[in-house]
Structure formats: C-alpha cells, structure tokens
C-alpha cells in the first residue's frame, strides 16, 4: 500500500510544505508515504490559525461541542478497519492490537462528548467570612485558548484522542504534532473532524522534526497549555521552556508486577505475557519487571516461558501476528545491548535474547541485577525480567526502587496484602489482581517521580485545559 504525499493541515486546509520526508514501514522498510516536514514559520502559521479560531470555539455551546465529538466517534467507527490498518502499516502494531486501539479511541471521543456537557463551576459561601457578608459568588470554567499536543508513536490514535478530545470538549483549539513515525493516523483524524463539523482552525496538524516543530509550539506565547507524552528528558526540557503555560507530562515507566504465593498462575499467565509483549513492549505501562514469591518462582517462570513460546512473530498486517517489528532498527540494537549488559551482570536468558528474521524475539530474563538498565530504566522493547522475592514486602520495595512511578500491579488473595500494596506502592495507579498495563479511558491516568505530572482520562485532563474565573456580586 502506497500513501500519497501528505501535506500540513492548517486552518481547515491541506497546505503544501516547504519540504517532505519519506516515511518507511518499520516492518519491511517499504516506502509508505511522503510526509510534510514543517519548519518554524509553517508551525507559526498553524499556531496563528488556532489563535484566530479561539473566539469561535469559546462561543460554541456545550451541546454543539458534544455533537462534533459524537460525530467524530461515529465516523471513526465507520472507518475503523481502515484506521486499524493505517496504524499497523505506519507503526508495525499487530492488526488485532490496532483494532483494539481504534475501539478504545472511539470510546475516548464518546467520553469527551459526554464531558463537554458536564463543565461547570460552583457557588462560594462568602458569608463564611465576616467581610464576605452581603455578597454572592460563583465560579465559571473557561477554555485556556490554544492547546499544544505532542504525541508518541505507540498509540497514534488513542493518545492523540486523550489530548484532542478534552481540548475540544473544553472549547479550546489545538495544534497537534504527532510522532514522526506515525503521522498518517493524525491526518485521518483531521479529515474526520472536518467532516464532523469542527470549525476551521480548531485543529491543526503539523508534522516534522520535534526540535523544530515541538520547540515552536512549546515556546510560543499564544499556546496556553501543553500536553506531552514521551521521554523524561524531553518532558523536562519542555517544562523548562514552557514558561507559565499549563503543562501535562506523561513520561513513561518501567512498570512492576508482584505475584504472591497464593496466585492462580494458569488463570493469569496469558494476561501477564500479553502485558509484557503487547505492541512489542512499546507501551508506557508494559510489564517490565515481575517480582514473584520465591515459593512459586520456578513454576511461574516455566509457565510464563511456555506461554511466551506460543507467541507468533511476523507481519503486523497478518491476523495472527502477536509481535512484530520495533519502531526503528536503532531501538532494536539498543535493546540487544541492554540484554547483553544484563547477562554480563549475571542475568539468565530463559527465552529470546536474539534476532530472527529481523525481529527481536520476546525476551525473558531471570535474576536480573537491579542496577542494570533493563531493571532501572524504561526498556520500551519486548523484554521482561523476573526476579524472586522472599515476601510481598520485598516485592513492594523492589517496585519502589525505580525512579518511575506510573502504575504497578499485584496478584494476591490476601486483602491485607492488597491494601498494604495500595498504601505503600509509589505510583500513580495500583492495579490489584491484574497487570499494571490495565487502562480504561475515563479513569485518571498519570504518574509520580519521573513518570510525569498531571493526569489524563478525559474528565481529569479537562481540568488542565480550563481556567477558573470567580464572579462576586455585592448585594
């Protein structure tokens, strides 16, 4: 499948860029598109369009914003197979997983449509103070204006939805910079929103180099809020350059899973394997570290490896593919280096660790030194480490050793252990009797430590994209 040259989307029109760059399939390196490479001036044009459209979106009633988002959900659902194949093509996400992402994206925009009608302030009892007697006060919520959205490759439609959805629901306008490897799904979004009735300028899609396009969005004074998903290094840089903008940062993790001695291993093993290797492990809440009670360690490892061996590697466009190519060859090379480092420090390879037909095999490492990179950094690859622990307290301590804290999971039949984990795990979300990769799109989602600041989940993201205005009447 060859995709035509893709232009910038600015002010409701497809705009020819000053230059274009080839886009290749991560799986077989075939050319799939020629994509606009915006410069700073073109990015400023997009910001100007969003800035001019502010008044239109601000004046739009809630029911109309909800209707547009509902139309978008309906249109995307109608073209769901096309959208899924686009994700599989540009990002090498296996087709079944891509279909799941589209289903979630439809639901996310439905949530956004619902939340557009629930934005409200509150009354303030000023007479609680002597000096407030004789006054009536209330608050109203108003859109911030222009929202800059910078998104990653691994969920190119749903993570965009978690930024565009709440921004439009709140009455803002958006300048969207998708990941360089996965821009095609954002162009489809622009097409669908135009058909859904979104005014010109309310969404602008600008593709190109992150240092050029991203920096222009982050530093422009007309952009009042930023939502970014990506690496901690880039997130920290964004926050340092953003000035007084509102900033939401989702910066990844190396999520841990704790397995208690009373866990029904056969009942959860497939879930754990999918959480470790889904989308080639390129998920912020992918299971990277598993801590298993020593009494069941060998049994758990045997079943985990056996289930891993059943995974099918290959073309992401095939119906039965479970694991395909990583997003870029350099990332695969990095992953191999991290595996070799772990082995040099005493880790055992229970499965994988090699490349077959240009694909990194799902890799299971045992008894990993906690100081090596696969243990303490975000691997973002089909690699999982499994270490034994003497008890659940040690498991909690090991999870907390990380500089990250997005989500963690624990399997246990002991209510007291579950509550202990919920209290002591230093993460944004604790998932009991399920994997840390669990997410539904209306729950609060975000982390602590180097996993970022702020929360996604439509209702919670909305708060970052609204201003509170106080109104006081003296009787």
What are the percentages of helix, strand and coil residues in the chain, rounded to 5?
40, 25, 35
* Residue 250 is a catalytic residue: yes
Inter-CA distances, 414 with 214, 263, 313, 419, 427, Å: 47, 10, 37, 9, 20
Element (H, E) at 28: none
Q: Using the structure block, give the residue that is written with the tokens 């096309």.
A: 82
φ, ψ of residue 427 to 5 degrees: the values are -145, 170
Contacts of 469 by beta carbon, 8 Å cutoff, 6+ apart: 121, 139, 140, 141, 142
What integer is the mean pLDDT of 177-186?
98
Give the mean model confidence (pLDDT) for residues 124-149.
Answer: 98
> Chain-centre distance of CA 324, in angstroms?
20
Pairing of strands 448-449, 404-405: antiparallel
Contacts of 441 (CB under 8 A, 6+ apart): 104, 107, 108, 111, 158, 161, 162, 457, 458
37 a catalytic residue: no
In 3-state terms, what secondary structure has residue 92? coil
Q: Nearest to residue 210, comparing CAs of 184, 237, 190?
A: 237
Answer yes or no: are the C-beta atoms of 204 and 171 closer than 8 Å. Answer: no
Mean pLDDT value of segment 436-447? 97
**pLDDT higher than threshold 70 for residue 1:** no
Nearest to 451 by CA among 242, 245, 271, 288: 288
Contact at 8 Å (CB) between 258 and 421? yes
Mean pLDDT within 16-21: 97
Q: What are the phi and psi torsion angles at 250 (to 5°)?
A: -115, 110
Q: Residues 83-117: pLDDT tens digits? A: 999 999 999 999 999 999 999 999 999 999 999 99
Contacts of 273 (CB under 8 A, 6+ apart): 304, 307, 308, 311
Query: What are the tens digits of pLDDT across the range 307-362?
Result: 999 999 999 999 999 999 999 999 999 999 999 999 999 999 999 999 999 999 99
Q: Which of 22, 24, 6 is nearest to 14 (CA)?
A: 6
Give the separation between CA 195 and CA 190, rounded to whole angstroms: 9
* Catalytic residue selected from 42, 90, 115, 284: 284
Radius of gyration of the chain (CA): 23
**pLDDT in the model for residue 3:** 52
Token couple for 57: 């979106």
Is the pTM of the predicted complex or chain greater than 0.75?
yes
d(CA 239, CA 444): 21
The whole-angstrom separation of Cα 123 and Cα 138 is: 4
Query: pLDDT confidence of 4, banded at 50, 70, 90?
Result: confident
Q: What percent of the chain has pLDDT over 70?
A: 99
Question: What is residue 105's three-state secondary structure?
Answer: helix
pLDDT tens digits for 43-87?
A: 999 999 999 999 999 999 999 999 999 999 999 999 999 999 999
Separation of alpha carbons 292 and 281, rounded Å: 20
Q: Of 250, 331, 456, 464, which one is the catalytic site residue?
A: 250
Rounded distance, CA 218 to CA 84, Å? 30
Give residue 2's pLDDT band: very low, low, confident or very high (50, 70, 90).
very low
Smallest CA-to-CA distance from 354 within 345, 341, 363, 346 is with 363
Given a cut of 70, whether residue 376 has pLDDT beyond it is yes
Mean pLDDT of the chain: 97
* CA–CA dist 252, 248 (Å, integer): 13
């Amino acid at each position: 499948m060859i995709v035509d040259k893709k232009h910038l989307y600015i002010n409701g029109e497809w705009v020819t860029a000053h230059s274009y760059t080839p886009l290749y399939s991560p799986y077989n390196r075939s050319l799939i598109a020629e994509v606009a490479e915006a410069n700073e001036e073109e990015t400023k044009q997009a910001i100007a369009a969003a800035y001019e459209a502010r008044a239109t979106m601000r004046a739009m009633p809630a029911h109309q914003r909800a209707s547009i988002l509902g139309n978008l959900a309906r249109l995307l659902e109608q073209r769901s197979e096309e959208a899924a194949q686009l994700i599989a093509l540009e990002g090498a996400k296996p087709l079944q997983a891509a279909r799941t992402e589209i289903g979630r994206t439809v639901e996310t925009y439905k949530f956004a449509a619902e939340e557009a009608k629930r934005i409200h302030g509150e009354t303030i009892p000023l007479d609680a103070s002597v000096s407030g007697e004789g006054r009536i006060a209330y608050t109203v919520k108003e859109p911030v204006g222009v929202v800059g959205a910078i998104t990653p490759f691994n969920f190119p439609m749903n993570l965009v939805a978690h930024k565009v959805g709440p921004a439009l629901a709140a009455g803002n306008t958006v300048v969207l910079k998708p990941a360089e490897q996965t821009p095609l799904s954002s162009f489809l979004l622009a097409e669908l929103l135009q058909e859904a009735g979104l005014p010109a300028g309310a969404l602008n899609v600008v593709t190109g180099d992150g240092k050029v396009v991203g920096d222009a969005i982050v530093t422009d004074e007309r952009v009042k809020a930023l939502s970014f998903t990506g690496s901690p290094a880039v997130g920290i840089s964004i926050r340092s350059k953003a000035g007084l903008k509102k900033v939401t940062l989702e910066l990844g993790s190396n999520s841990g899973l704790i397995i208690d001695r009373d866990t029904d291993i056969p009942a959860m093993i497939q879930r754990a394997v999918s959480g470790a290797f889904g989308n080639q492990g390129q998920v912020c809440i992918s299971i990277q570290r598993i801590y298993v009670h020593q009494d069941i360690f060998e049994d758990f490892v045997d079943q985990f490896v056996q289930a891993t061996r059943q995974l099918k590697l290959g073309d992401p466009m095939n119906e039965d593919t479970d694991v395909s190519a990583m997003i870029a060859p350099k990332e695969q090379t990095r992953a191999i280096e991290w595996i070799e480092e772990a082995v040099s420090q005493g880790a055992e390879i229970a499965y994988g660790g090699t490349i077959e037909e240009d694909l990194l095999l799902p890799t299971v490492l045992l008894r990993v030194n906690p100081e090596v990179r696969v243990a303490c950094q975000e691997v973002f690859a089909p690699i999982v480490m499994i270490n034994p622990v003497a008890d659940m307290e040690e498991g909690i301590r090991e999870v907390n050793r990380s500089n990250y804290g997005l989500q963690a999971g624990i399997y246990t039949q002991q209510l007291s252990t579950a509550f202990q984990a919920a209290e002591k795990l230093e993460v944004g979300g604790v998932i009991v009797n399920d994997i840390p990769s669990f997410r539904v799109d209306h729950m609060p989602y975000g982390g602590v430590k180097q996993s970022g600041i702020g929360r996604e989940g439509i209702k919670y993201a909305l708060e970052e994209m609204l201003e509170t205005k106080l109104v006081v009447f003296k009787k």
